Structure 1
Amino acid sequence: MNTACKPTDVPTPGEIDIPALRQRYAHERDKRLRPEGGEQYLKTEHEYAQAYEADPHMPRVPRDPISEDLDVAVLGGGFSGLMAGVHLRNAGVSTFRHIEHAGDFGGVWYWNRYPGVQCDNDAYCYMPLLEETGYFPSKKFADGFEIQRHCRRIGEQYGLYENALFHTRITALRWDEERDRWRIATDHGDDIRARFVIMCGGPLNRPKLPGIPGLHDFRGKVFHTARWDYAYTGGRWEDPVLDKLADKRVAIVGTGATSIQAVPFLGKYAKQLYVLQRTPPTVDARPNPPTDMEWARSLQPGWQKERQRNFHHVAIEGMRPGDVDQICDIWTEINRDLAAELAGEGWPDLTLEAYLERREAMDFRVMERMRRRVEAIVEDKATAEALKPWFGFNCKRPLSNDDYYPTFNRPNVKLLDVSATRGVERLTENGFVHEGTEYGIDCLICASGFEVTSDLDRRWGIGAVDGRGGQSLYENWADGYRTLHGAMSHGFPNQFFTGYVQGGFNATTIEQFSRQGYHIAYIIRQALDRGATAVEPTLDAQDAWVAKIRATAVDISKLQRECTPGYFNNEGDHKGRRWYLGESYGPGWDAFETMMQDWRDAGTLEGLSVTCRAAQAAD
């Protein structure tokens, strides 16, 4: 489908002034910085719990508390939990169950049902196990309901529904040293005793609310996009005809990945729409025709792994002579354009420093193309100027949508730039205040995203995670992650972690989750085969791994400092940051995976302390 992928038409080096752009980027960043960083957002608890922690999609069915012993508890039912379950099943581990606070599998794809929701990555890479399930996405950027149905397909094919506990929130995890079990307490009063636990909460599971002054005073409707209220707006997830907004004045806060998909629908149906923007997104075109099934049938076995490999290398590591960009979208544009230029020069022999300088210059040029795209589409000059992104390509998630910018040409849609006040000034009983003017609204929609880099206890929502001797994982990691392979931590036996935790980094998040699940399932299978009751890293092995990660990790501190505030840099609060997304193995994904495979092939569980003793009876 994309063998003819070509470079984009970016400005020439002579058309841009890089020193001037650096100054403009810094100015735009500084005027948006807030001293409280990520603490500017509200927790979805207490008075907000019912609205944002409850499930509007499926009724919660009362059940009796469960008291049981099992081999493995998989804590989470999104893609990371699904992939862990698949690999446990493939490894022959049969006694396990998923525990998930939603009403079904899917994770963020269960909760996100706002109008226009789609994957903004190549679905042929993003949706896992396509060859194994015999499924093919209907288009490159699949709709949310298609992705959630694929999650259900995986759960059904691999028998994961059989033991899944849905609508179950974990309240505490404590290691029982007498029984070598994790005691799992839940909001149903369960006492589940698991030999192993796998933490699969994912980075996008807890909504965050903008801390707008006066939020409690507003008398209109308020909801988060991850809890979309179709009873209020009209329409359905699969058919978002928002006809109940015909007489409504609506404001949406936030202009990230969610907002650019929802705004075109709100603009089409609402009587009046105000888009409250602190920082404009980067939005490219999104050609998204139906999948060419003849092309799909022509693919050879192993095509998805190869496509995922191609995406990672082209998007993250750059292109070499002879490489082909199979993805051909905004994610791969900079390296594709740079490769085309270098090829035209006969692939000069550049030092790493010279290559990175050329790449940075291409970043400036690509972003200038994005700004010119805004000018070409948005008719009002002031609105177009406010919509231009003045930051580096990787500072905010790059997006694509054909309908976002044209929506601002509608007479009922108004963009309000709230960067001068670093967010919405305040809410009143009847609306919001901007630059001294009160705007009346009936509905406020929060497209403010999820808790990504907040403290771990806040994101997980588990009151206590206590290991050996009652030590708290939250306190143990107070100064940053401490793991072996990004998978286990000393003092917390038989507990495994997934996500962006001191391991390899892959551009396809789901492939990263899959390989983590594979590695974890291997260790659990080995432990079961050896009759082990407890497995954990030695302190020396953990310290050596942390030192290796910190010695090799790519230094992104400059990017952290220079970027406009967002979740990539904890809203600009980069000092002493513990949970950032960049602490990964510096030599790259392939090197990390080779190292992990060599470790498994050795079969010695190097760096792990393995305890074998007679199992004690559970309560």
Structure 2
Amino acid sequence: MTAIQTTPAVDLQKLTTVRQRYTEEANKRLRPEGTSQFLQLNSADEERLRALAEDPWVDHAALNAKASPIENHGTYRFFVLGAGFGGLQYAVRLLEDGIATADEIRLADAAGGFGGTWYWNRFPGLHCDLESYVYLPLLEETGYVPSHKYAPGQEIRAHADRVAEKWNLVDKTLFRTDIESTEWDDHAQLWTITSVERRGPSAAAIKRIFRAQYVYLAAGVLTRPQVPKIPGIPSFSGPFFHTARWNYAISGGSQSDQRLTGLEGKRVAVIGTAATAIGAIPQVAKYASELYVIQRTPAYVKPRGQRPTDAGEFQTKVAGTKGWQYQRQLNLNSFLTNSPGPGVENLVNDGWTDIPAYSAVLGSPSHGIVDPSPENLEKHADAFHVLDLPHMECVRARIDQLVKDPDTAAKLKPWYPSWCKRPTFSDTYLQTFNQPHVHLVDTNGKGPSRVTETGIVVAEKEYPVDIIIFSTGYKAVTGNGSPSARTGVNIIGRGGQSLDTKWQATGAATLHGYATSGFPNLFFSGTNQATITGNNIFMLGLIAKHVAFWIAQAERRVGLGKRAIIEVTREAEEAHSAEILKRAPFYSALAGCTPGYFNAYGENAAITDVHEKLKRARGTAWSEGAISFINHIEKWRDDGSLQGLSIVAARELKSLL
């Protein structure tokens, strides 16, 4: 397959008109409150709302019967916050590289089991939106073959369990546990970690303080559900729940049996039309007597093209060679960043690989270092819009083809560039609106006005409903996005310095995005000053490999039997920050996006202070795409000098490890 066309011919007058429409639609949705327009469920004043964030899947009795893998005042070599695919891949890398044994590793997670977001999310219609063969990690190592090109959620969660079992991590993980703080003890040269294990409504929580040599923060951000602050929500007399904690006791069915018989004869409202809703709405429509879809911003929906995995084809065309999964991930990324070489075959060949302008958010090597002059930045944005218009016109035209009612079709059309929101994929969502009992309630960008005892009011019209389902996403990362803010952990380094305070004062400061000075032996996942891949599992694997390399090399340097202290130097993090700042103008094309998760619901665009803008710019990703970033850090590794890392042996203290 040839490289993606980068300079399509477009009608410039039409492009001008479309961009004006984009601006108008974005302005409709801008609210001065930014992220404050949402209520975080776990901190809601009303018990009924707080309860929506509780874990509906956990088996407290079974977990309470097990011995705790983390003892109060215990000391461990490796501590990992997060038992999703980020934490699991890191632990597996330590094991596979011979850096650690399973007995030297401990993990903790707020959930009641493995999987991260795949533990929490079990809503009907849930599937992976990326090809399973590049998304599910460690397929080659486990020998597992996904059932479909896009695996259902239950299968993905089962794969997390499979990984944990294969590498003997099940009894090394403490679930239902929040980490309150992680503090560096300069005397012991270890991290002191304070945790609280929640053991269910009939058992007291257990607070533990323990220590670790190395700490890795792998907790994800798509775990804290929110609802908009719609007046009157608590007054609703019927049941309601959030898709992030789907309540099958209300809907009927289960994740394995998605016959939602509890919705039969019921008038149901789904508030929100982001990725979760795209999966759930067609399933809800099969059972509800009336379904009202409350839309503030139309979703960007592409066909999924789901199909079962053909075992023979998988073995011969997908997994036929050693290292196939990593090579397939790289191949997909070259198309995501609009940079495949001439004649390179598109191995994944799906809806992700035909969005050339999505590289505006992922980075691309095709642009180099972007000149920050206002004239050039305008040309830079123009080029992405030219690249994007044919694609988005096709997306909008497909709606006209599938949705019979012209008025409904018009309201379902996304009027924003492809890079402003993560695309969604469904073979049934748009067609659902052809059913007579399914009603699109478009709010013209405003959201619902209020909730009453018996319904939802939009523009002074009340829609009577029996059940409300919130599909309103998760808490967005705001400010400078420090690892402390992202994970909700108070992290204190050398000299009592708070990691969040450091980043709030100066902006992001790291070496390669994964460690920062003043916080020895602390590593974290994320995109700040690193890379965005579009495939989060792929990215988490890259991070695990790089951090494990640091540790292996450091321990080799200090010698057998000694503890290594690894710390980024201030000079190195400033040098890396300078490289990121130099590349930050690339992301100027993101300005003007419709409010959403990517831009903290418009908060980023509202910043006018030059100093604050500079701090935010330090937190952008490597602008030349993931493959360029991989080459950059591999060159650093190949150099062998570990430039930018201070590595010393810990003082000899007895009875620490």
Same fold (TM over 0.5): yes
Asked if residue 267 in structure 1 is aligned to residue 285 in structure 2, the reply is yes
> By how many angstroms is 1:355 displaced?
9.9
Q: Matches of 1:567 and 1:336 in 2, distance apart?
A: 19
1:35 pairs, out of 32, 35, 42, with 32
1:128 pairs, out of 134, 137, 149, with 137
Paired position in structure 1 for 2:343: 322
> By how many angstroms is 1:88 displaced?
1.1
Paired position in structure 1 for 2:199: none
Q: Matches of 2:514 and 2:385 in 1, distance apart?
A: 34
- Describe the SS at the equivalent of 1:609: strand
- Describe the SS at the equivalent of 1:477: helix
Ranges in structure 1 where 5+ consecutive residues have no aligned partner: 339-350
Residue type of the alignment partner of 1:189: K
CA pair 337-596 structure 1, distance change in 2 beyond 3 A = closer
> By how many angstroms is 1:369 displaced?
1.2
Q: Deviations over 1:239-288 (max 9, x none)?
A: 21110111222111111111011000111111221111111011122211
Q: Matches of 1:153 and 1:56 in 2, distance apart?
A: 22
Paired position in structure 2 for 1:227: 245
**Map 1:447-458 → 2, pairs under 5 A:** 447-454=471-478
Asked if residue 71 in structure 1 is aligned to residue 77 in structure 2, the reply is yes
**Map 1:487-506 → 2, pairs under 5 A:** 487-506=514-533
1:550 pairs, out of 581, 584, 606, with 581
Q: Matches of 1:308 and 1:337 in 2, distance apart?
A: 17
Alignment RMSD (CA, Å): 2.8
CA pair 126-256 structure 1, distance change in 2 beyond 3 A = same
Paired position in structure 1 for 2:331: 310
- Describe the SS at the equivalent of 1:258: helix
Is the 8 Å Cα contact of residues 179 and 615 (structure 1) preserved in structure 2? Answer: no
CA pair 6-381 structure 1, distance change in 2 beyond 3 A = farther
> By how many angstroms is 1:181 displaced?
1.1
1:26 pairs, out of 1, 23, 26, with 23
- Describe the SS at the equivalent of 2:586: coil
- Describe the SS at the equivalent of 1:365: helix
Q: Matches of 1:378 and 1:552 in 2, distance apart?
A: 42
CA pair 471-356 structure 1, distance change in 2 beyond 3 A = closer
Asked if residue 597 in structure 1 is aligned to residue 634 in structure 2, the reply is yes
CA pair 536-417 structure 1, distance change in 2 beyond 3 A = same
> By how many angstroms is 1:552 displaced?
2.2
Paired position in structure 2 for 1:562: 592
Is the 8 Å Cα contact of residues 172 and 186 (structure 1) preserved in structure 2? Answer: yes
Q: % of aligned pairs identical?
A: 38
Is the 8 Å Cα contact of residues 254 and 278 (structure 1) preserved in structure 2? Answer: yes
Paired position in structure 2 for 1:474: 500
Q: Matches of 2:78 and 2:570 in 1, distance apart?
A: 24
> By how many angstroms is 1:471 displaced?
1.3
Residue type of the alignment partner of 2:573: Q
CA pair 430-356 structure 1, distance change in 2 beyond 3 A = closer
> By how many angstroms is 1:533 displaced?
4.5
Residue type of the alignment partner of 1:601: D
> By how many angstroms is 1:618 displaced?
5.9
Paired position in structure 1 for 2:217: 199
- Describe the SS at the equivalent of 2:352: helix
- Describe the SS at the equivalent of 2:547: helix
> By how many angstroms is 1:476 displaced?
1.0
Q: Matches of 1:584 and 1:433 in 2, distance apart?
A: 41
Q: Deviations over 1:100-146 (max 9, x none)?
A: 11111100011110000001111111111111111121111110111
Asked if residue 429 in structure 1 is aligned to residue 453 in structure 2, the reply is yes
Paired position in structure 1 for 2:57: 57
CA pair 449-374 structure 1, distance change in 2 beyond 3 A = same
> By how many angstroms is 1:51 displaced?
2.1
> By how many angstroms is 1:554 displaced?
5.0
Q: Deviations over 1:184-226 (max 9, x none)?
A: 1111211120011000012322222222122232232221111
- Describe the SS at the equivalent of 2:504: coil
> By how many angstroms is 1:30 displaced?
0.7
> By how many angstroms is 1:599 displaced?
2.6
Paired position in structure 2 for 1:348: none
- Describe the SS at the equivalent of 1:314: helix
Q: Matches of 1:310 and 1:128 in 2, distance apart?
A: 16
- Which is further off, 450-459 or 143-152? 450-459
Q: Matches of 2:304 and 2:630 in 1, distance apart?
A: 32
Residue type of the alignment partner of 1:168: T
- Describe the SS at the equivalent of 1:308: helix
CA pair 212-172 structure 1, distance change in 2 beyond 3 A = same
Q: Provide TM-score, normalisation by structure 1.
A: 0.91
Is the 8 Å Cα contact of residues 183 and 193 (structure 2) preserved in structure 1? Answer: yes
Asked if residue 154 in structure 1 is aligned to residue 160 in structure 2, the reply is no
Asked if residue 446 in structure 1 is aligned to residue 470 in structure 2, the reply is yes
2:511 pairs, out of 484, 492, 508, with 484
- Describe the SS at the equivalent of 1:600: helix
> By how many angstroms is 1:616 displaced?
2.6
CA pair 404-279 structure 1, distance change in 2 beyond 3 A = same
CA pair 315-16 structure 1, distance change in 2 beyond 3 A = farther
CA pair 208-331 structure 1, distance change in 2 beyond 3 A = same
Q: Matches of 1:114 and 1:337 in 2, distance apart?
A: 27
Q: Deviations over 1:153-176 (max 9, x none)?
A: 111112221311111111111111
Paired position in structure 1 for 2:93: 87
Paired position in structure 1 for 2:543: 516
Paired position in structure 2 for 1:413: 438
Q: Deviations over 1:547-581 (max 9, x none)?
A: 1111123522332x221111111112222577799
CA pair 336-202 structure 1, distance change in 2 beyond 3 A = closer
> By how many angstroms is 1:532 displaced?
4.0
Q: Matches of 2:331 and 2:382 in 1, distance apart?
A: 23
- Describe the SS at the equivalent of 2:194: strand
> By how many angstroms is 1:617 displaced?
4.3
Paired position in structure 2 for 1:346: none
**Map 1:210-289 → 2, pairs under 5 A:** 210-289=228-307
CA pair 31-356 structure 1, distance change in 2 beyond 3 A = closer
- Describe the SS at the equivalent of 2:177: coil
- Describe the SS at the equivalent of 1:172: strand
> By how many angstroms is 1:52 displaced?
4.1
Q: Matches of 1:14 and 1:518 in 2, distance apart?
A: 46
- Describe the SS at the equivalent of 2:628: helix
CA pair 74-158 structure 1, distance change in 2 beyond 3 A = same
> By how many angstroms is 1:377 displaced?
1.4
**Map 1:356-367 → 2, pairs under 5 A:** 360-367=385-392
Q: Number of paired residues?
A: 600
- Describe the SS at the equivalent of 2:171: coil
Q: Matches of 2:144 and 2:293 in 1, distance apart?
A: 38
Q: Matches of 1:111 and 1:211 in 2, distance apart?
A: 23
Q: Matches of 2:87 and 2:4 in 1, distance apart?
A: 38
> By how many angstroms is 1:535 displaced?
1.7
CA pair 22-359 structure 1, distance change in 2 beyond 3 A = closer
Residue type of the alignment partner of 1:475: T
Paired position in structure 1 for 2:208: 190
> By how many angstroms is 1:77 displaced?
0.8
> By how many angstroms is 1:589 displaced?
2.3
Residue type of the alignment partner of 2:329: Q
Residue type of the alignment partner of 2:207: G
Is the 8 Å Cα contact of residues 285 and 401 (structure 1) preserved in structure 2? Answer: yes
> By how many angstroms is 1:97 displaced?
0.9
Q: Matches of 1:309 and 1:180 in 2, distance apart?
A: 39
Q: Matches of 1:43 and 1:580 in 2, distance apart?
A: 27
Is the 8 Å Cα contact of residues 97 and 163 (structure 1) preserved in structure 2? Answer: yes
Paired position in structure 2 for 1:537: 568
CA pair 26-206 structure 1, distance change in 2 beyond 3 A = same
